[in-house]
Structure 1
Amino acid sequence: MTEPTSGVAKQELDDFLRTADKLTLDDRRLLVQQALVLIEQNYVHLPLKAAMHAVNPVQRLRLLAVRLSRQTPQTMGPEWRFHAELSEIFHAVRDLHTNYLLPQPFSGRIAFLPYLIEEHYDGERRHYVITRTLQGFSAPGFGPGVEVTHWNGIPIDRAVEINAGRFAGSNPAARHARGLQSMTIRPLRVHVPPDESWVVLTYVGQDGIRRELSETWRVGENLPPFVNADELSVAATAQGLDLGADEISRALKLLYVPEAVTPHESLGGAELAAEPAEAGADVPTSMPGFFRARSVVTPSGTFGHIRVFSFSVNDPDAFVREFVRLIGLLPQNGLILDVRDNGGGHIFASEFLLQTLTPRPIVPEPTQFITTNLNLRICRQHQENPTEQIDLGPWCPSMEQALETGAVYSGAFSITPAGGANAIGQQYFGPVVLITNALCYSATDIFAAGFQDHKIGKILGTDDNTGAGGANVWTHELLKLLLELPSPAPETPYKPLPGGAGMRVSIRRTLRVHDLAGTPVEDLGVVPDFRHRMTRRDVLQGNEDLLAKAGEILSGQPVRRLDVQVSAAQVTLTTALVDRADLYLDGRPAASVDVKQQVTTVPAPGAGTAHVIRVEGFQGGELVASRTILRP
């Protein structure tokens, strides 16, 4: 076989693990004590997880603390065993927001094999195939399209399910998806290293011959995250991110799509001005690590297709601006919005995006703390001295009252500002279909829930559910900072973690709005309107059947239009499938007209000096389109 020539610096797993044994017994005791603080006093889903999964992580941590108290430096077990047990306690709650993050040298490293495995269906039968190999890697009869039958002698379907049990997906679809994803790539910051030093893969080669391939696990440096979740910033306090999925997404770019690797979120965009996309062509983007936009030809017609890989940005406004620019260059008769494998990120970015696709006002998802004395201390600290990064004042009164009433949760208030979620309004007027899978998590769950709750369009799922991560997540370091700023609080329970270790916890749970108001997103997720099982053509030929299904859903749906031109004393509307238009100038009603032709002129004294012009279009009394124009 031929070794890969990837530019990733790497070493074999066994060699790497020889450098990974640095924690003292006191370090281990401190980590367990700090885990107890987070799970017992900060963890918002603790009652839900105890009920739904019959787990008791608090008692397990106490038992581990007792065992450590009886050990000596001479009798304590190997470090890998400690990491495995502490990680397993966190994984037991099946919450990808709530993690033990391994210390150095694991932090920032990935373990990987030189190929990827994906699944597809032939009727009801599931198959597993190789879809990518590292550049330069080859083996007899091996490559994209070969079918995998066994993993270390275990039938591959069974091996995936065994692996799924080790990871924290909150529903069966999410666990299976993560079990498969982690067969060939694992971020060591979040997951303990593989048990095996090498993997024996049994496959049916491209020549039809059954063979075995033995490959050692490799370890290399991953790309760094865009957002520093440990600092006190808006991006850090508004995090909704599956860290494992984000780590894997960055690793996949590094290993298999290096051209999408950029050192910054945006490289600027002035030079990217372009004509509308031609059929089958990509639209250049300033954010290739976050978007891929193109025009796709399906049996039902030519539609826009935009893939959103991540919401993990520092600047949600710039993120939305680039999205708007891209969809403006795509066909306007229908949009396929694809968020598969998106592990989330900045909650603002996900909820700001919704307004661009609907005329309806966006109601951001409200969130709740669990009512503990420690959470109340944090909220009080940032009620009396709120910073630009965080103001927890809205949650304080209900948490103080809960000390008397015994309420489990605080009042519910949104993290995303409603003004920002409705600042620019609708930008796309054709029908939209959203594609999801079980690797959609956190801010992407919030986005999918908002898409469904606001009736923006239909959801097409390649799995039975999204990942069902319904929370805002804070790191241990951020919690520690929140009690130190703007002035240190006395007797903080948060202590510095040894060895570069870290922890994350679901701090505020998110709730659905409108028809499902009050329903938690956690564990339940978003159920699609249509289900599509991935085919062989999908995994090997660019999602052909999936996109055809999305095009079929879009075809025949109404394509509306509402263009607005403003002059000193009138507004000119160019419309399609709109029979009434209401005009507002700086929030005040200015006119309401019946629309009987494609172009309608509306007298509007003062339009030339208004800062915000909003037009709402109706059909049969239903709001179907809106346009907001902002001027200095």
Structure 2
Amino acid sequence: MAKESKPALSANLKFLGRTHAAVRDHLSASTELPDFLATAGGLSLEGRKRLIAQALVLMESNFVHLPLKRAMHGIDPIQRLKLVRHRLDRATPATMGPEFAFHREMIDIFTSVRDLHTNYLLPDPFRGRVAFLPFDVEEYFDADGTPRYVASHFVQGFTHSHFKPGVEVLTWNGNPIERAVEVTADLHAGSNADARHARGLDGLTIRSLTRAMPPDAMWVDVGYVDLNGTDRETRQEWIVSPALPINNGVDPDIANLNASCLGLDIEADAVQRAKLMLFAPKAVEELAKPKQVTVKMAAQGAEVPTLMPSTFRARSATTTSGEFGIIRIFTFNVNDPGVFIDEFIRLVELLPQNGLIVDVRGNGGGHIHASEGLLQTMTPSEVTPEPTQFISTPLNTDICARHNGNPVGIELGPWEESLRESVETGSVYSRGFSITPHDFANARGQQYHGPVVLITDARCYSATDIFAAGFQDHRIGHILGVDGNTGAGGANVWTHSLLKQLLELPPPTDPETPFEDLPNNSGLRVAIRRTLRVNEQAGTPLEDLGVKPGFRHALTREDLLSSNVDLINRAGEILTGMKTYGLTASVADTAEGQRVSVTTLGLDRLDFYIDGRPFSSHDVGEGTHAIDISSGGALLRLDGFDNGLLAASRRIVL
């Protein structure tokens, strides 16, 4: 079989030389899957034993969701790891079995906990590689709700006589396409049915080899209906390429504040970067260009250039309900959350102010400060960051005690006393304290005053789940979901390397540390602090439960092939049913002090605060109002009300 596929496989790689210049050199390092697999191997018996021992440490002493996962999914990962250890203790290098079988069992154990934060990361040469087919498959629904699957995006340079964008896929290696998605979904750790289905769909054509095993088959036979309605079949071979590097993302293995504040699904992040490389090379090209700031309002239907093209895409969207702003947030994985929030503010100020669509589909998360810090820009209310808890274990207590006092920028002191109390009280978890500082979550205040609709899907995870939960808990606007739930990842994630360093920094190394170096550049990650909802759902865990949207939209064929046209129209319809508020202000000096010129929309009362203290209150109508204030003070806050309810807020530096 391999001999027969060789000529087709070699021909398949030739199209990579016709890809966009921005990714051509990167893709030139691609290899055929059989050639790549020939380079794998080399994990010793001792290395396998060390991986099992370290995985047991994380599962028994750090994994915050273990009680929940045992209850919800009826699993026992610790016993399974002990059984593998038992077999390895009796094995020799000659009898230990194939390395692929060991990797597969480790991945299966970690997948069983249904937590995309808690992972076994494959060693070299898998780590940092992605396996792909030169096209994407997406799902839409007929008017009667029947799911359909189409090949929607193709790698530039790939050509085929009949297999083109828009063809409907019917079978996958002889299986009905729906069954193929189900089988692939079982290889992924989504915590609910929607999440597993979404990741199964992605896994048909893209596999991050850092977290997932390579495909078992060297190729895929795709049965499809061409654009003329004829049933056909084509064979496509798997290709392995280096993953596109993370652009300005957080290094999770460096012991600093950013690494300790991560909430990221690394598989979703890798898949998104692979799609960027394969299907949006012009966006990759934009990353290398000098960035220029525009100060012009977006023209109708026009895009606003961004300083962070791998993070944002902002444009004015023409819908059947009118012209609205739309901003896509691809990731929260940024090194500087403040810069991230400032760029969001700059972009939305250049978009229509009568309604905003925030689209976070496919966003696997990132820096928790960035996700929770963004909420304030769209609400007049004070933002309450989600509290987080450690599971109560002696090892977690030692880690928090060592970092009580912020020695390397990671402050864990608030959790230490609670963990020590748990020995007496028998509490499973520590008390909850937020990762995002309250002051940071409220430092900028509201910047956008129009109605907001948030679009989510089952690929939203981790920091994006936290963002969606905060959006819902603070009643910022409506959530429109293309799936029935988000990915339901409610935790802060730490790597094994970070945990090891936390017991080594600052010197001297803790003599009782259980952490050892991992072999062959392999890795482990664990959900370390679980997050809890706030306000009306205070105390409810986000993990496994996720964020359910208030509105649903089943993606259509036109959505897949015409830039989400029906989805955006549906969001526009929701926006038209929401009230629009406006609150802009400027300050000018006068002989007696200062005069504030305020323009309001939809408000009937304005309250003035100077440096946090009440100054005056005024009844207003729609229009522009001039109000004098005495000199003195540094910060003016205007709170606008509608029938007694806080509806808009604005801050001005005096």
What is the CA–CA distance in structure 1 between the aligned matches of 2:105 and 2:393, rounded to whole Å? 27
1:553 aligns with 2:578: no
How do residues 73-222 of structure 1 correspond to structure 2 at under 5 angstroms?
73-122=93-142, 123-222=144-243
| Conserved 8 A contact 1:21-1:79 | yes
Match of 2:274 among 236, 241, 251: 251
| Conserved 8 A contact 1:223-1:250 | yes
* Amino acid in the other structure paired with 2:255: L
1:495 aligns with 2:516: yes
Which residue in the other structure is 1:260 paired with? 283
The TM-score with structure 2 as length reference comes to 0.94
Match of 1:566 among 578, 582, 587: 587
Which residue in the other structure is 2:5 paired with? none
How do residues 8-23 of structure 1 correspond to structure 2 at under 5 angstroms?
8=27, 9-23=29-43
Deviations along 1:291-345, whole A, 9 cap, x unmatched? 1101111111110011000000000000111111110111111001100000000
3-state SS in 2 of match to 1:604: strand
Which residue in the other structure is 1:274 paired with? 295
What is the CA–CA distance in structure 2 between the aligned matches of 1:514 and 1:38, rounded to whole Å? 32
* Amino acid in the other structure paired with 1:531: R
3-state SS in 1 of match to 2:544: coil
| Conserved 8 A contact 2:636-2:651 | yes
3-state SS in 2 of match to 1:272: coil
1:238 aligns with 2:266: no
Deviations along 1:31-84, whole A, 9 cap, x unmatched? 000000001100000000000000000000000100111110011111111000
What is the CA–CA distance in structure 2 between the aligned matches of 1:38 and 1:292, rounded to whole Å? 38
Deviations along 1:476-523, whole A, 9 cap, x unmatched? 000001111112211210000010001100000000000000000000
How do residues 443-482 of structure 1 correspond to structure 2 at under 5 angstroms?
443-482=463-502
Worse-matched range after superposition: 312-321 or 273-282: 273-282
| Conserved 8 A contact 1:262-1:289 | no
| Conserved 8 A contact 2:345-2:447 | yes
What is the CA–CA distance in structure 1 between the aligned matches of 2:112 and 2:253, rounded to whole Å? 24
Which residue in the other structure is 1:604 paired with? 629
| Conserved 8 A contact 1:164-1:175 | yes
* Amino acid in the other structure paired with 1:136: G
**Structure 1: gaps spanning 5 or more residues:** none
What is the CA–CA distance in structure 1 between the aligned matches of 2:425 and 2:647, rounded to whole Å? 44
Which residue in the other structure is 1:532 paired with? 553
**Structure 2: gaps spanning 5 or more residues:** 1-7
What is the CA–CA distance in structure 1 between the aligned matches of 2:653 and 2:56, rounded to whole Å? 50
What is the CA–CA distance in structure 1 between the aligned matches of 2:537 and 2:277, rounded to whole Å? 40
In the TM superposition, residue 223 of structure 1 has moved relative to its aligned partner by: 1.4
Q: Work out the percentage of aligned pairs sharing the same amino acid.
A: 55
In the TM superposition, residue 208 of structure 1 has moved relative to its aligned partner by: 1.9
| Conserved 8 A contact 1:510-1:520 | yes
* Amino acid in the other structure paired with 1:574: T
**How many residues are matched?**
626
Which residue in the other structure is 2:445 paired with? 425
* Amino acid in the other structure paired with 1:63: L
In the TM superposition, residue 402 of structure 1 has moved relative to its aligned partner by: 0.2
In the TM superposition, residue 274 of structure 1 has moved relative to its aligned partner by: 3.2
In the TM superposition, residue 597 of structure 1 has moved relative to its aligned partner by: 5.2
Which residue in the other structure is 2:606 paired with? 581
What is the CA–CA distance in structure 2 between the aligned matches of 1:204 and 1:83, rounded to whole Å? 37
3-state SS in 1 of match to 2:630: coil
In the TM superposition, residue 162 of structure 1 has moved relative to its aligned partner by: 1.1
In the TM superposition, residue 260 of structure 1 has moved relative to its aligned partner by: 1.8
Which residue in the other structure is 2:3 paired with? none
Worse-matched range after superposition: 136-145 or 79-88: 136-145
What is the CA–CA distance in structure 2 between the aligned matches of 1:540 and 1:31, rounded to whole Å? 45
In the TM superposition, residue 525 of structure 1 has moved relative to its aligned partner by: 0.2
| Conserved 8 A contact 2:286-2:309 | no
| Conserved 8 A contact 2:603-2:622 | no
Which residue in the other structure is 1:40 paired with? 60
Distance 1:399-1:436 versus aligned 2 partners, 3 A rule = same
Match of 1:297 among 310, 313, 318: 318
The TM-score with structure 1 as length reference comes to 0.97
| Conserved 8 A contact 2:208-2:271 | yes
| Conserved 8 A contact 1:591-1:602 | no
In the TM superposition, residue 600 of structure 1 has moved relative to its aligned partner by: 2.1
Match of 1:386 among 406, 431, 439: 406
What is the CA–CA distance in structure 1 between the aligned matches of 2:613 and 2:71, rounded to whole Å? 50
In the TM superposition, residue 203 of structure 1 has moved relative to its aligned partner by: 0.7
Distance 1:597-1:217 versus aligned 2 partners, 3 A rule = closer
Distance 1:336-1:599 versus aligned 2 partners, 3 A rule = same
| Conserved 8 A contact 1:267-1:286 | no
Deviations along 1:549-572, whole A, 9 cap, x unmatched? 000000142221111212342322
1:595 aligns with 2:620: yes
Distance 1:37-1:263 versus aligned 2 partners, 3 A rule = farther
Which residue in the other structure is 1:523 paired with? 544
What is the CA–CA distance in structure 2 between the aligned matches of 1:211 and 1:389, rounded to whole Å? 59
What is the CA–CA distance in structure 1 between the aligned matches of 2:114 and 2:427, rounded to whole Å? 24
What is the CA–CA distance in structure 2 between the aligned matches of 1:351 and 1:277, rounded to whole Å? 27
* Amino acid in the other structure paired with 1:104: D
Which residue in the other structure is 2:418 paired with? 398
Which residue in the other structure is 1:319 paired with? 340
* Amino acid in the other structure paired with 2:629: A
